[in-house]
Structure 1
Amino acid sequence: MLIDPSRGLTARGPSGFTGATLTLDQQRVLFRRWTTDPAVHPHEALLGMLALLHGASSREVRMLQTADLDPHARTTRLGDRPHPVPLDPASWAALERCLAHREAKRTDNPHVMVTRQTKSGQGPASTAYVSHILDACGFPPRMIRCTRLLDLVNTMDPKLVAAAFGMDPEATLIYLADHIDPGRLPDQHKRTP
Structure 2
Amino acid sequence: MRNSINESLNEVNKSVREVSNILTSTNLKLDATNNKIDTVNTNLDKINETSKETNNKLDQLINKNTDSNGQPTDLTATNQKLDELNKTAKESKGLLQDIKDFFTQPFTPPSDDSKVSAENLEIDQNVTEQNYVSWGSSCPPDVNVPVNLMGQSSTLTLSWQPWCQLLATIRWAIIAAAYFAAAYIILGMR
The alignment's TM-score, normalised by the length of structure 1, stands at: 0.21
More strand by share: 2
Larger radius of gyration: 2
More helix by share: 2
